[in-house]
Amino acid sequence: MTAYIKAENLNIEMPVYDLSGRSMKLRVLGSFKNERLSSNHGITVVKALQNLHFEFGNGDRVGLVGRNGAGKSTLLRVLAGIYEPTYGTLITKGRAVALLDMGLGMDETLSGYDNIRLRGTLLGMSSAEIKDKTEEIADFTDLNDYLYLPIRTYSSGMRIRLAFAISTALDPEILLLDEVIGVGDAAFLDKANKRLKEFQQRAKIVFVASHSNQVIRDMCNKAIWLDSGKQMMVGPVEEVISAYEQSF
């Protein structure tokens, strides 16, 4: 299957409703550059992403670079369908899998096996896919009989193992990664990193946000440089990172 992503004049605006008191408002507004703020009927609006244009297809590994608050994580959430564009267009072809929030879709009152079914459904897996992959997911977690217990009895590392195993059991066309993901204790880390590399190889398009330019160089062939929600440059990874590094 061919995977495809195209953005044209993509904009995300986020209204800020809960500013109680002038000092709170000043602190919030002071954390953004003035050009990222507007007012609509008295409601402060943050321009999280402004006028993005890009197009990627099969084989593209796209790094997102920029300072804190540049919009990298916001863009990943738009691509994952968590945020809808305020205006502009985003065209996607292919199933997107986002490794952004390992706690998404987990119910503490349910067993590990029940959470495999629940999280798998929320990630877009069919009943047949979930049934086919449950044993493989269970084996990878090394949780054994804990999978019969409610996950409220799990340590945080055990929960991450389970969520990671479910998410990486999918066959994505589009993979979205926010930073290099740590998944539990050291004994599990090598196993997880190997699985993550295999997961990336199965994807047609990969987007990864990282503060490490070397990680982007190693993983990607293209890059988007964001600054204060604006797209500064899109192109071959080395050209984009070189321009970004020269901006300091």
The per-residue pLDDT for 101 is 72
Q: List the Cα angle 40/77/32 in 5-degree steps.
A: 45
Rounded to whole angstroms, the Cα distance separating 26 from 217 reads 38
- State the pairing for strand pair 205-209/174-178: parallel
Please report where in the chains the tokens 């490794």 appear, as a residue. Answer: 99
The pTM is what? 0.80
The per-residue pLDDT for 239 is 98
Domains of the chain: 4-94+208-246 (3.40.50.300), 99-203 (3.40.50.300)
Query: How crowded is residue 176: how many other Cβ atoms within 10 Å of its Cβ?
Result: 25
- State the pairing for strand pair 61-65/43-57: unpaired
Tokens of 166: 């479910």
**33-40 CB contacts, 8 Å cutoff, 24+ apart:** 33/228, 35/228, 36/228, 36/229, 38/13, 40/15
Series of mean pLDDT values for 10-residue runs along the chain (248 residues): 93 75 51 59 81 97 94 94 93 88 82 94 88 95 95 90 88 83 67 84 91 90 96 98 94
The per-residue pLDDT for 33 is 53
